């Protein structure tokens, strides 16, 4: 049975063995007019749901103008709404989307096969990754074992690097208070790092590692290691590695002593340049540290902004002037504290904004330092507060630099009974060496700097 009879768009197929009434309802249900629209509403056949259920359970329709996109067979539909969905309102729309039932089943099968393939591929990929991770873990373990095995037998102090040995001293000092713990990585330390200069830190650490004074610590995070494709040799990010000092405490102490006396007394151009580099580094770190302190004071204590960008260069010059005049770090902290305090007072009295007050602190600091230099005021030494974070190597390098300076200090040389006025003395074997002006009984004892701070 096909509709409309002249140019059929739809064929009705009724299941065998259906009653005459069911056959009749199916025919009424599927019949379409000449233009392809339904000949009647389902409701006009009988009670709506009963009529639809009876018709669709007894029959289906084949859309003669809507062919399967795969096999060109007309598509079967189970009810009116599917018929319209596939063939459009007039049941004559060419189909570019739907499959016949058979092809649909095949496609379903193909999809299932593809799904299985994908699952298997994913499983294989996961397995590959697992093996790779295992391999990498084994390689990392191997590197760490090699690092662990380093005993410092081939260690040498890298004197060709002016600052690496000094940093070694700082690392030794730091490790002394963290028994059993690795030295932090540069990433752990953040922007300030050891010396307030990440590049310098990295160069020095690389030199110390190459010299076998540092080894990668077992606590180094796995992400520090990199494996590049086609190159199985693992490497690590210098900035991510945590470190241990190579050698037992006796060896390390001996290295530290050697390094210290190199800076203090070694003759020659390289040692001279190392001392200069150390002095410049410490000066730079002191200036950075004081600026950090003032910024912290303004922001944390007073809730002002940091010193404005436009005045930082000037602030650095002012701080340098203070250190050059001989004020100690503690005295400089005192100046900064007083400058911020005075600026806060100005802000109240002169109704300034917070940014103006931060800027005023720079001007005031300059004035206070100038006045103290001129009037030779006694300035107390302040401890930096606990919130203040200084570059980690500052204390150690400051101390080393003071020791180095003391060796060449005119007043100390003149007062020393063991050396001449050049600071040189003769050893038992007749060699001439630089004197460290230590009391003879305890040559290792650390002596405080005798530098007279200006105004103290
Ligand atoms: Zn088909
Ligand atoms: Zn001496």
pLDDT, residue 226, reads: 82
User: pLDDT, tens digit, for every residue of 64-82?
Assistant: 999 998 899 999 999 999 9
Q: Are residues 58 and 158 in the same domain?
A: no
CB neighbours of 391 closer than 8 A, spacing ≥ 6?
Answer: 192, 193, 194, 195, 196, 285, 288, 289
Q: How much distance in Å is there from the Cα of 449 to the middle of ligand 2?
A: 14
Query: Which residues, in sequence order, are bridge partners of residue 245?
Result: 214
Burial of 30 (0-12, 13-18, 19+ CB in 10 A): buried
Residue 454 has pLDDT above 90, yes or no: no
Which ligand lies nearest the alpha carbon of 435? Answer: 2
- For the chain, what is the domain count? 3
Q: Are residues 33 and 178 in the same domain?
A: no
% of the chain beyond a pLDDT of 70: 95
The answer as to whether 391 is a domain residue is yes
pLDDT band at 234 (very low <50, low <70, confident <90, very high): low
pLDDT, residue 456, reads: 36
The answer as to whether 443 is a domain residue is no
Q: How much distance in Å is there from the Cα of 14 to the middle of ligand 1?
A: 21
Cβ proximity of 26 and 79 under 8 Å: no
Q: Tell me how far apart the alpha carbons of residues 166 and 315 are, in angstroms, rounded to a whole number.
A: 28
Q: How much distance in Å is there from the Cα of 375 to the middle of ligand 2?
A: 33
pLDDT band at 376 (very low <50, low <70, confident <90, very high): confident
Q: Tell me how far apart the alpha carbons of residues 263 and 401 are, in angstroms, rounded to a whole number.
A: 8
Strand ranges in 320-455 using DSSP code E only, listed in sequence order: 424-426, 432-434
Average pLDDT, the chain: 91
Which ligand lies nearest the alpha carbon of 105? Answer: 1
Q: Are residues 190 and 236 in the same domain?
A: yes
Which ligand lies nearest the alpha carbon of 107? Answer: 1
Beta strands at 225-228 and 59-67: parallel, antiparallel or unpaired: unpaired
Q: Tell me how far apart the alpha carbons of residues 424 and 376 are, in angstroms, rounded to a whole number.
A: 34
pLDDT, residue 450, reads: 44
Q: Tell me how far apart the alpha carbons of residues 189 and 201 are, in angstroms, rounded to a whole number.
A: 11
Residues with CB under 5 Å of ion ligand 1 are 68, 70-71, 73, 100, 103
Cβ proximity of 300 and 349 under 8 Å: no
pLDDT band at 230 (very low <50, low <70, confident <90, very high): low
Q: Tell me how far apart the alpha carbons of residues 455 and 38 are, in angstroms, rounded to a whole number.
A: 109
Which ligand lies nearest the alpha carbon of 101? Answer: 1
Half-sphere exposure of 306 (CA within 13 A, CB side): 11
Could you say which DSSP state residue 213 is in?
S
pLDDT, residue 439, reads: 67
Which letter, b or e, does each residue of 192-228 get, where b requires 16 or more Cβ atoms within 10 Å of its Cβ?
Answer: bbbbbbbebbebbbebbbebbbbbbbeebeeebbeee
Q: Retrieve residue 111's tokens.
A: 């999809």
Q: State which of 62, 84, 99 marks the end of a domain.
A: 99
Residue 455 has pLDDT above 50, yes or no: no
Q: Are residues 370 and 245 in the same domain?
A: no
Q: State which of 265, 284, 310 marks the end of a domain.
A: 265
* Structural domain boundaries, residue 407: 272-434
Q: Are residues 281 and 421 in the same domain?
A: yes
Q: Are residues 260 and 282 in the same domain?
A: no
Which ligand lies nearest the alpha carbon of 440? Answer: 2
Q: Tell me how far apart the alpha carbons of residues 166 and 280 are, in angstroms, rounded to a whole number.
A: 13
pLDDT band at 445 (very low <50, low <70, confident <90, very high): very low
Cβ proximity of 450 and 328 under 8 Å: no
Q: Retrieve residue 211's tokens.
A: 């010299």
Q: Tell me how far apart the alpha carbons of residues 361 and 357 are, in angstroms, rounded to a whole number.
A: 6
Q: State which of 217, 246, 265 marks the end of a domain.
A: 265
Q: Tell me how far apart the alpha carbons of residues 385 and 372 are, in angstroms, rounded to a whole number.
A: 23
Q: Are residues 183 and 310 in the same domain?
A: no
The answer as to whether 427 is a domain residue is yes
Could you say which DSSP state residue 192 is in?
S
């Amino acid at each position: 049975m096909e509709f409309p009879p002249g140019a059929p768009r739809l064929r009705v197929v009724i299941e065998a063995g259906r009653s005459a009434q069911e056959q009749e309802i199916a025919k009424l249900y599927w019949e379409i007019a000449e233009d392809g629209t339904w000949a009647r509403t389902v409701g006009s056949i009988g009670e709506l749901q009963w009529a639809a259920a009876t018709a669709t359970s007894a029959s289906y329709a084949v859309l003669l103008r809507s062919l399967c996109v795969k096999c060109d067979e007309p598509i079967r539909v189970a009810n009116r709404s599917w018929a319209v969905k596939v063939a459009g309102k007039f049941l004559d729309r060419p189909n570019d989307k739907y499959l016949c039932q058979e092809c649909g089943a095949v496609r379903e099968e193909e999809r299932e096969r593809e799904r299985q393939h994908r699952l298997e591929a994913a499983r294989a990929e996961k397995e590959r990754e697992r093996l790779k991770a295992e391999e990498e873990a084994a390689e990392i373990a191997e590197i760490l074992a090699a690092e662990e095995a380093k005993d410092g037998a081939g260690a040498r102090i890298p004197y060709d690097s002016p600052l690496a040995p000094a940093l070694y001293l700082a690392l030794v000092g730091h490790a002394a208070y963290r028994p059993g713990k690795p030295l932090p990585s540069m990433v752990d330390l953040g922007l300030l790092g050891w010396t307030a200069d990440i590049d310098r830190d990295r160069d020095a650490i690389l030199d110390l590692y190459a010299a076998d004074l540092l080894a990668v610590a077992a606590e180094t995070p796995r992400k520090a290691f990199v494996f590049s494709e086609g190159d199985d040799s693992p490497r690590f990010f210098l900035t991510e590695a945590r470190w241990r000092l190579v050698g037992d405490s006796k060896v390390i102490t001996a290295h530290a002593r050697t390094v210290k006396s190199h800076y203090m007394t070694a003759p020659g151009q390289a040692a001279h340049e190392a001392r200069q580099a150390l002095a410049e580094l410490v000066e730079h770190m002191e200036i950075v540290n004081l600026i950090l302190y003032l910024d912290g004071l303004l922001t944390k204590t007073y809730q002002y902004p940091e010193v404005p960008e436009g005045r930082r260069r000037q602030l650095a010059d002012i701080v340098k002037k203070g250190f050059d005049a001989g004020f100690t770090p503690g005295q400089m902290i005192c100046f900064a504290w007083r400058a911020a305090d005075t600026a806060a007072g100005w802000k109240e009295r002169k109704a300034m904004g917070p940014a103006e007050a931060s800027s005023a602190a720079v001007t005031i600091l300059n004035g206070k330092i100038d006045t103290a230099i001129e009037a030779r005021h006694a300035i107390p030494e302040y401890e930096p507060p606990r919130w203040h974070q200084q570059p980690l190597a500052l204390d150690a390098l400051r101390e080393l630099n003071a020791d180095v300076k003391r060796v060449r200090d005119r007043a100390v040389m003149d007062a020393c009974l063991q050396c001449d006025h050049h600071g040189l003395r003769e050893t038992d074997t007749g060699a001439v060496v630089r004197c460290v002006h230590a009391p003879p009984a305890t040559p290792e004892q650390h002596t405080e700097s005798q530098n007279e701070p200006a105004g103290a």
